[in-house]
Amino acid sequence: MKRRTFLASTGIGLTTAVAGCTTQAGSSDSPPTDSETPTSEDTQTNTEQQTERTHVAADGTVERTIGAESLDERGLRTPHHVAFGNPTAESHQGTVTVSTADETVFKESVELEPNASIVASLTDLDTYTARVSVPELDATEQITVEPSQFTCNVTKTTISVQDDGTLDSLGISTRMACQGVVSDHVAARESASETLGDDPIPADTGKGSHTLMLRNPSEETWTTRILVEKDSTAHFDGVYTVEPEGTVLITLSESDTYSLSVGVLETETTVTEQVTPENFDCNRSSTRAEIDDTGELTASTVSTLMACDLETNSTSESP
């Protein structure tokens, strides 16, 4: 059966429900003991849990938003969508769970009629584990959504019920080029670099460059995000997984006023430094950030104070 490639828009609601109906089967005809006999309280609980299950009609879609929608506020990346779909001709019940390393951020039980789906939008940059369980089919499928999967494109991962009673996952994305969006893994004692603007810088301009250096001298591997903003607009959005003694270098070759923000996703620590045109005036200038063993950041901007005279420099360099 051909799958629909529905690209979800951001939802507005979040419903949390827990599937709770359990059954017991005995092998004898003897009457159940007191412990096996459902009480009125058990019956009421099961009825409430059944009521809490979200029902999605045939060909319908419900949408959920997970997180604080921080990706809509800053940067060049967009939310990633996780869906549970039922493209079969039968109705199916299942539970969708989305977790980070620290907590379960979403859980909902649903009943999907044919060609129905539920779509959850992940609106904060993080590493997520999405799990779909369909007890009636004894089927479970689990996927991981990495920070690098959040790009400028509309991206979606769908876990679907198959006609043979299994679950399968499929990722789709639009194909727009994401200028300024970089995701990279920096191995131990290695480095990664990017230049924003002219590369190399035109000679005899009398202008220098400014370098943002992020170092990880700790013994841990950290996931970092670097934002370069100008006039409150993001021009660079880099996500780097940096192993011990790894380094990231971002060179700014065009003189302007910038806001340089460095964050560690695991600890939600962020530092920001401002760079002005004075940092480009024939000086050696850099912003240096370091991550310690606890995932905390320190940063500082340092520039030499060197007088610049193009004519003098040109004369002194002549043979």
Q: With bands split at pLDDT 50, 70 and 90, how would you rate the model's confidence at 206?
A: low
CA-closest candidate to residue 108, choices 142, 63, 147:
63
Helix, strand and coil in the chain, % to nearest 5:
10, 45, 45
Tell me what percent of the residues of the chain surpass a pLDDT of 90.
72
Q: How many whole angstroms separate alpha carbon 187 and alpha carbon 242?
A: 7
Q: Are residues 163 and 226 in the same domain?
A: no
Residue 38 lies in a domain: no
**How confident is residue 203, by pLDDT bands cut at 50, 70 and 90?**
low
Contact 222, 295 (CB under 8 A): yes
Q: How many domains does the chain have?
A: 2
The answer to whether residues 153 and 232 belong to one domain is: no
- In this predicted structure, what is the pLDDT of residue 45? 40
Question: Domain check: are 113 and 142 in the same one?
Answer: yes
pLDDT at residue 307, rounded to an integer = 59
Partners of 225 in the beta sheet? 239, 263
Residue 9 has pLDDT above 80, yes or no: no
Side chain identity at residue 159, one-letter code: I
The separation between CA 55 and the C-alpha centre of its own chain, rounded to angstroms, equals 28
Q: Beta strand pairing status for 233-242 and 61-66?
A: unpaired
The residues pairing with 120 across neighbouring beta strands, listed in sequence order, are 64, 82
Q: Supply the pTM of this predicted model.
A: 0.79
CATH number of the domain at 137, please: 2.60.40
Q: What pLDDT does residue 273 have?
A: 98
Residues 6+ apart with CB under 8 A from 230: 256, 257, 258, 259
Last residue in a domain, options 171, 196, 231: 171
Mean pLDDT of 104-110: 98
Residue 220 lies in a domain: yes
pLDDT at 218 over 80: yes
Q: Does residue 199 sit in the same domain as residue 122?
A: no
Q: Is residue 274 part of a domain?
A: yes
> Is it the case that residue 247 has pLDDT exceeding 50?
yes
Looking at the structure, do residues 87 and 141 belong to the same domain, yes or no? yes
- Name the residue range of residue 227's domain: 179-301
Give the separation between CA 262 and CA 228, rounded to whole angstroms: 9
Q: Is residue 44 part of a domain?
A: no
Exposure string for 252-266, b = 16+ CB within 10 A, e = fewer = bbbbeebebbbbbbb
Task: Choose the final residue of a domain: 140, 171, 202.
Answer: 171
Based on the fold, state whether residues 193 and 167 are members of the same structural domain: no
